[in-house]
Amino acid sequence: MVQVCGESVECKVSAERMWHGLFKDAHNCLPKALPHHVLSVEYPHGQLGFHLPGHERLIKLHKALCEEVHEVEKHLKEEEALVKEEVEKVGKEVHFEEEKVGKELHKEEDWGKDKVCEVVGRVEKEAKEKVEDVGKEAHALKEEVHKGEHFVEDEVDDAAHEVAKVTQKVLEKEAKVAKKAANIVEKVLHKEGELLGATFHKVDAFLQHEGLWVKEKIEEVHHEGFKITISVLAGGLIGVLFKHCKHTFELKDTSLGHGSILHWTSEFETLFSAAHYLHAYEKLKQHALAPFHSVESYLLKHDDYTH
């Protein structure tokens, strides 16, 4: 590519010929009207300058361009310095604002912490006062319950004592019934003789109920003989506290034809709660069942039991 007065004229020149006859070839490619205005010849490996007519003007132009470039670079540096200064200024302002905002946030955070501590303290104080009030109420209720327990125990003792008195009378009546039952057994054994020698007879005179049982067992005297269960329905006032009582007799046939009581078990189904069971049972044994703790005591008090 050959530049002529600012215009480009294309010419094709090989690399070898460029080195050996560059100027001649380039000159032959120029238009005839402009034979002395070649400024430069460009080729793939670089650029060669030729001192042709007009070369001095090119040098001046190049110098002017260099000065212009220098001025532009200087101006750019000045602008860059101004921009840098402005950036630093803006950075300082941003930093100042950040510190200011940080201080405000820290101040708000401290205020929030103080407020939270104040609220928490007030809530804890109110909760503590409520706990103390509840504790006082619980203590008062506990004292009332304690008084009530003593009152209930006293009432239970009185009721058990009254029940024991009534039970004593009922058991005395049932003892007579038991004697009659024993006589019935004796008559049956005497009548049937050896045919019923090993037969168990049961006379059941009460309806079965579910409940808590109080048992009083008399020691056995002998382990032989016939057995019969005689159950008697409890009546009167005792029926309120005891569903029924049951007496079990073990009889032994004698050579005289009538039986002797060897074993006696008394069972009482009670409506007492489990909490009052032991207390009521002790009272019952003390006041009601004491006369019947052994076969011997029964025989001494009822010497006509076989009649």
Residue 295: pLDDT band (50, 70, 90) is: very low
Residue 115: pLDDT band (50, 70, 90) is: confident
User: What are the residues whose beta carbons fall under 8 Å from the beta carbon of 224, sequence distance 6 or more?
Assistant: 252
**pLDDT over threshold 80, residue 69:** yes
What are all long-range contacts of 27-31, with beta carbons under 8 Å and residues at least 24 apart?
29/2, 30/2, 30/4, 31/4
Threshold 0.75, pTM exceeds? no
Identity of residue 179? K
In the prediction, which pLDDT does 218 show?
34
Residue 183: pLDDT band (50, 70, 90) is: low
How far out from the chain centre does Cα 266 lie?
52
What percentage of the chain reaches a pLDDT higher than 90? 0
Which of 241, 234, 236 has the alpha carbon at shortest distance from 156? 241
Q: H-helix or E-strand containing 279?
A: helix 274-287
In the prediction, which pLDDT does 169 show?
65
In the prediction, which pLDDT does 173 show?
63
